[in-house]
Amino acid sequence: MRDYFNIKLPDDEVAAMSMLALAHIGDAVYELMVRTYLGCSGKATARGLHRAAVALVCAPAQARAAARIHPLLSDSEAALYRRGRNAKVNSVPKGADISEYHAATGLEALFGWLYLRGEHARLNELFAAIMEEDDDAS
């Protein structure tokens, strides 16, 4: 039985997945990390947690996060991000422009790719760099 919390797929299985499939998984990984971060930060009410999570996982915020970590990416991570960013999407949510949505999709694809490869330490490193600005504002 596969352990989906601690998954480590072979590189060929991950490479066979579409960018949108990686982004789909990465969206959940990123949101779980944000929710955990917020829950551990002391926000007490469900409403406060929800509002803070929505503010951090929306496409414009994810686009800013992608720009923040871009200088930290390895060549292979940057290439994967670009492929995710350039994936054809069928719709854009209100409150985001197309370039923000593409950048957010690239970030999600990167997080999905790292998660499926079992690179949890790297996920935590990149997430910490994203949240660093948020911590400084607190």
pLDDT at 119: 96
Where in the sequence numbering do the catalytic residues fall?
Answer: 27
pLDDT of 10-44, one tens digit each? Answer: 999 999 999 999 999 999 999 999 999 999 987 67
Q: 2 versus 28: which is more confidently predicted?
A: 28
pLDDT of residue 136: 54
**What's the rounded Cα separation, in Å, for the pair 37 and 61?**
15
- pLDDT mean over 84-109: 91
pLDDT for 96 equals 86
Predicted pLDDT of residue 56: 96
Mean pLDDT to the nearest integer, 61-65:
97
Q: Is the pLDDT score of 102 beyond 60?
A: yes
Q: What is the DSSP string of 47-103?
A: HHHHHHHHHHHSHHHHHHHHHHHGGG--HHHHHHHHHHHTS--S---TT--HHHHHH
